[in-house]
Amino acid sequence: GTLGAIGAQEAHGRVSFDKTAASIQEGKVYEDTLIDPDGAAIYIGEFVGEVPHGRGRLFWSSTNYEAFIGRFKNGVPREGVFLNEKGFCVSRCK
């Protein structure tokens, strides 16, 4: 996929929010976008409850580049790549 701000817009456009409040409370996986007060994406991907859980992308607020691409568990990055604010890979976790 595309990286950076354009990738964030594309990923956000693919999110189809079709879950009910009840299904979220039951702990079912759904896709959504977490945004900051200015409307920029902070996280795009899978959630369980109100926290990132599953595949997703975390973004730097200063540059709109990805900070982490991979899998999250209970809101914590678990498997994937960390990128610096210029979009360069700086670390991997497995």
What was the pLDDT predicted at 9?
58
Domains of the chain by residue range: 4-93
Task: Provide the pLDDT for residue 18.
Answer: 66
Beta bridge partners of 66: 59
Tens digit of each residue's pLDDT, the chain (94 residues): 555 555 555 655 555 556 677 777 788 899 989 988 888 889 999 999 889 999 999 999 888 899 999 999 999 999 999 999 999 999 998 8
Alpha helices in 1-94 (DSSP H): 4-14, 21-25
With contact defined as beta carbons under 8 Å apart, do 42 and 52 qualify? Answer: no
pTM: 0.76
Please tell me the predicted confidence (pLDDT) of residue 55.
97
Q: Which residues pair with 32 in a beta bridge?
A: 45
Q: Which residues have a Cβ under 8 Å from the Cβ of 76 and sit 6 or more positions away?
A: none
